[in-house]
Amino acid sequence: MRAETVEVLKLSLHGETVGYLAGYQSGRNIFVFDQRYTEALDRPTLTLTTMPSFPNATKTLGRPWITQQQLHPLFSNLLPEGAYREYLAQTLKVHPNNEFPLFRQLSQDLPGALVAGPLAPEQVPAGLLLHRDSVQPVLKPWVQARTHFSLAGVQMKFSMKHRDGRYLLPVSSTLGDGQELGDWIIKTPSTRHPWVPLNEYTAMQLARLAGVEIPEIRLVPLADLEGLPPINLPQETYAFAIRRFDRSEQQRIHTEDFAQILFKYPHEKYSSANYEQLGRILYRFTGRGLVNVQQLARRLLVNLLLANGDAHLKNWTLHYPDRQTPELAPAYDILTTKAYIADEQEASLNLGGTKLWYEIGWAHFEAWSKQVGVPWRAILPHLEDVLDKARTLWPQALEESPMAPEHKGILKQHWQALRADFQIQV
């Protein structure tokens, strides 16, 4: 039997131990729930799939989650994609697909309320390391390194603290008990696509005018950002800022996106579900099922009207305001993606059997409503309200918005190309 080093993290939610994550030198990762957590009737909800009402919840709680290199999707989806992952991997001198070191480094400031901390060898529960019978585990002491934050997604973005009119990166020395948490997500301009902050700010404002629930948003001068790492930035003036809905007065609010709920990895976010599935989950398992589905319907139509082709699984999230009951979280990451993909004409997921924007009409939304299990009469007035607000308010709001003129023109052309059901005259 060969020896293999292993590190162990204790995962906690609102101060309660949820379980333990062991990361082996070979890349094998094993998560095991804490028995006291699984037996507690009033436990805080880690994921909707472990709620007593969810199918196979007992089985999900009772078995170890064993993966290689990547973590289980519930944890893997907490990690950033793209540029920030590459930056972090280079800092840690590990491969970007080796996720345990990334998770360990980000463990004190993950999205939502989950926190992970190291266990010394003498603290590891008996029996935790018995799930590998071909190696002799050798516990590796914890080495403290500079703490980072985690924000899932491809775009370079930062969790920052707003103070005295400026935005600052929380420093590692403030992390730990009583730590200072970032309360705003700051998205810097892209070196690949021009004017993304102006695009997203405008799209989110239009969505709000149509009755979509969004957090507070701002355009922030780049000169007001302090402590950013050395990254390339284009010659633009503003970053996009959105208040974190998983933070409130230095308290963590637990969240999970639909890739986590469905146990899908980030690369499956476009291909492994449809909007009917999202609606059924909201209707059956959330606290305000009908209200959440009605809000989902609004957002689906708004995404269509705004030519947003990036409303994939990771851009829909549940949050747990009371620590146990899931509700649909405010909307985020809404922008006119057609401004950057000239021939784009598809939604991220199927709606009523199609993704094609210029085919979708009332019948597709009615078919969606039927598949979700919600009466059409409970959905139609919300869609009609969206359309009325969009036709009444959007043309002038778009003209007055900071969106780049060429992007405004693309959006107006999109409105004219939609089926007559959903066209907006300008």
Whether residue 163 sits in one domain with residue 82: no
Co-location of 180 and 130 in the same domain: no
255 and 221 housed in the same domain = yes
Mean pLDDT of the region 183-209: 96
CA 393/CA 412 separation, integer angstroms = 14
Write out the H or E segment, with its range, that includes residue 382. Answer: helix 376-400
Assess if residue 202 is contained within a domain. Answer: yes
Reading the block at residue 270, the tokens are 């476009």
150, part of any domain: no
DSSP notation for 264-324: --GGGTTTS--HHHHHHHHHHHSTTHHHHHHHHHHHHHHHHHTT-----GGG-EEEETTSS
Identify whether residues 225 and 126 lie together within a single domain: no
Q: Calculate what percentage of the chain has a pLDDT beyond 90.
A: 76
At residue 246's C-alpha, the angle toward residues 242 and 247, to 5°, is 85
Q: CA-based Rg of the chain, rounded to a whole angstrom?
A: 22
Checking if the pLDDT of 62 tops 50, the result is yes
pLDDT in tens, 369-406: 999 999 999 999 999 999 999 999 999 999 999 999 99
For residue 374 the two structure tokens come to 């919600």
Residue 34 bears catalytic tag: no
* More confident site: 76 or 228: 76
Residues 168, 278 within the same domain: yes
* Per-residue pLDDT at 173 exceeds 80: no
Instruction: Assign 243 to helix, strand or coil.
Output: strand
Into how many domains does the chain fold? 2
Residue 342 DSSP label? T
pLDDT band at 407 (very low <50, low <70, confident <90, very high): very high
Are 164 and 96 found together in one domain? no
**pLDDT surpassing 50 at residue 175:** no
* pTM for this model (two decimals): 0.93
User: Once rounded to an integer, what is the mean pLDDT over residues 417-421?
Assistant: 96
Q: Is pLDDT at 152 greater than 60 in this prediction?
A: no
| Helix/strand/coil percentages in the chain, nearest 5 | 35, 20, 40
- Collapse the DSSP code of 68 into the 3-class scheme (helix H, G, I; strand E, B; otherwise coil) and give the result: strand
Q: Is residue 247 located within the same domain as residue 302?
A: yes
pLDDT of 39 higher than 80: yes
Identify whether residues 359 and 225 lie together within a single domain: yes
Q: Could you tell me if residue 306 is inside a domain?
A: yes
- Tell me how crowded residue 362 is: count the other CB atoms within 10 A of its CB: 15
149 part of a folded domain: no
Strand partners, 240: 187, 219
Report which of 163, 45, 23 is spatially closest to residue 94, judged by C-alpha positions: 23
Which of the residue ranges 13-17, 104-108, 302-306 would you say has the lowest mean pLDDT?
Answer: 104-108
Q: Which of 310, 385, 388, 421 is catalytic?
A: 310
**Same domain (yes/no): 228, 316:** yes
**Alpha carbon distance 211, 37 (integer Å):** 39
- Across the range 349-358, mean pLDDT stands at 97
pLDDT of 176: 44
Among 106, 139, 172, residue at a domain's last position:
139
Pairing mode, if any, of strands 2-13 and 135-139? parallel
pLDDT class of 139 with cuts at 50, 70, 90: low
Q: Tens of pLDDT along 242-258?
A: 999 999 887 999 999 99
- C-alpha of 124 from chain center: 31
Domain identity same for 170 and 318: yes
What letter does residue 190 receive in the DSSP assignment?
Answer: P
Residue 278 belongs to domain spanning:
157-422
Q: Is residue 147 domain-resident?
A: no
pLDDT of residue 254: 98
Higher pLDDT, 80 or 139: 80
- Tell me the β-bridge partners of 356: 346
CA 380 to mean position of chain CA atoms = 28
Query: Would 179 be classed as within a structural domain?
Result: yes
Same domain, 86 and 188: no
Question: What single letter denotes the amino acid at residue 241?
Answer: A
Report which of residues 330 and 138 the model is more confident about. 330
